[in-house]
Amino acid sequence: MTPFVGGLARARLVLAESFGHAAFRIPQLRVIGPLLAGRSVLAVLPTGAGKSLCYQVPALLAGGRGLTLVISPLISLMQDQVGTLRHGGLPAAYLNSALDAVQQQGVVQAALGGQVRLLYCAPERLGTLVRSLRRGGGEGTRVALLAVDEAHCIVEWGSAFRPVYRALGRFRYLLGDPITLALTGSATPAARADILRVLRMRDAEIVTASFDRPNLRFAVERVASDRARFARLRALVREATGPVLIYTSTRRITELVTRALLRVSVRAAPYHAGLTNGVRRGVLQSFLAGRMPVVVATSAFGMGIDKPDVRRVIHWGPPRTLESYYQEAGRAGRDGLPAECTVLWQPLDLVLGHVGPEMRRYTLTRRCRRRLLLAYFGETVSACHGCDRCG
């Protein structure tokens, strides 16, 4: 029996009253409909599709019939979403290493007491939480909906970086196999199969939408040296008509590029895991508020962050995979207006061996980059709306 009350009619009312949106988008309806009927869903929707609402609205429909537990990969992402929900008067909390032991216990007790409807949890805190939920007898001990946000992390991070991701299916079993929503902005057919296998979602519906972002223009530029790369980077930043995101492969490069930009009077800030939570939070808030026009970051920055007016995403060298590139480039132009996505590379980037074969192919191709990118995700497009190969 589904824990959600009221069906789509009630969902539309919650969407309007609690989130201020007049109507669901078509992809959102394709996800929420099966969830409300009690079926699990893997949703592969592009950046800007409004994925978070696909579990936030059902969470409020569950009422006192269970908790919505959201597995989220990043502290900054949890803080941003929980802060927004609380600002709107919605009962949300997060559980991660930014809280001390006493604070974490307080969050767990609030969830057990039914005072929290949406609980965001880092994968590494899931074991302790599951034990508490299984021992407890309070209103919040049942998980009505399990949402795995940024589910591509199961594939990209689960093998070595954060192995707990490969155990999510076991935690799902221990929670009683609740209705589950796995969400990602990019996943190949093989990655989708891996996500479903790890989460043990054998009968899940798969919802996909077009990966094509017509307002984004894709370009790759070869440079002779890091000095030349920085000169071109500086020009691209100064040409930008709005906020800029620069992605690098390491913390060290992030710091070096930021300092170089500051020396030429470009306001910029670094963002990477080596900074304190407070510093990262300050950079994020300044960027979202428009006070910091340029952020130089490692790959995690921007995941799930609602910044619609990024006009340019620049990569200091190709990222490791084409999935990563699509995720990061896709943070440009979420408002639907034109935006530029540029990779600056030199031959040494490819020699070092950190770039996968599909990303290497994208970097070196003389054919349409948009078609190559979309084909990787199993999609064809009749015409290129803009790349450096097609004009």
Instruction: Report the mean per-residue pLDDT for the chain.
Output: 91
Q: What is the rounded average pLDDT of the residues 75-93?
A: 89
pLDDT of 304 over the 70 cut:
no
The predicted-structure confidence for 320-346, as pLDDT tens digits, reads as follows: 999 889 989 999 999 999 999 999 999
CB atoms within 10 A of CB 192: 21
SS3 label, residue 78: helix
CB atoms within 10 A of CB 158: 20
Domains detected in the chain: 7-208 (3.40.50.300), 216-376 (3.40.50.300)
pLDDT score of 158? 59
- CB contact at 8 A, 366 and 339: no
pLDDT score of 137? 62
pTM of the model: 0.84
Query: In the chain, at which residue ranges do the beta strands (DSSP E only) sit?
Result: 41-44, 67-71, 92-95, 118-121, 143-148, 179-184, 205-208, 216-222, 244-247, 268-271, 294-297, 312-316, 339-345
Tell me phi and psi for residue 188, to 5 degrees.
-70, 165
The predicted-structure confidence for 146-180, as pLDDT tens digits, reads as follows: 999 999 889 877 566 688 899 999 999 999 999 99
